[in-house]
Amino acid sequence: MTKRILVVEDNDLNRKLFCDVLQAGGFSVEPVADGNLAIERARAFTPNLVVMDIQLQDVSGLDLISILKHDAELADVPVLAVTAYAGKGDEERIRDSGADSYLSKPVSIGPFMAAVRDLVEDSTAEAAE
């Protein structure tokens, strides 16, 4: 069964890049440009992974991760956080919000796909247990 990935990214070029790379990797992808729609779309799409931009225009990606992790339907879905603002202490703050992994932008395709595969495989293994 094809793994589903929700991509929450308000930058058009980044969202298209993430989606194109993931689709080329064999994943089914649901793009979300508006962070306010992310939780609703996650419930409808039931992703195996969420790629979450932290610096969204209208809502904090950290807040969205926290909401996902406190939602009974979505709590087990791993989150890969991506951000252009990687300052001292940011990774800890992002992981504390519930993100399972973290990459700083600009994202290189190799490490991005490796992180995606690790998280999807981990969630698949846990679901099988």
Q: Are 68 and 94 in contact (CB under 8 A)?
A: no
pLDDT at 89: 80
- What are residue 54's phi and psi, to 5 degrees? -85, -35
Q: What is the pLDDT along the chain (129 residues), one digit of tens a residue?
A: 899 999 999 999 999 999 999 999 999 999 999 999 999 999 999 999 999 999 999 899 999 999 999 999 999 999 999 988 767 788 889 999 999 999 998 899 999 999 999 999 976 666 555
pLDDT at 88: 76
State the pTM of this model: 0.93
Domains along the chain?
Answer: 4-123 (3.40.50.2300)
Q: Per DSSP, what are the bridge partners of residue 28?
A: 4
Please enumerate in sequence order all residues whose Cβ is within 8 A of that of 15, keeping only pairs 6 or more positions apart, or say none: 7, 9, 31, 33
Gap between the Cα atoms of 20 and 127, Å rounded:
27
pLDDT at 91: 84
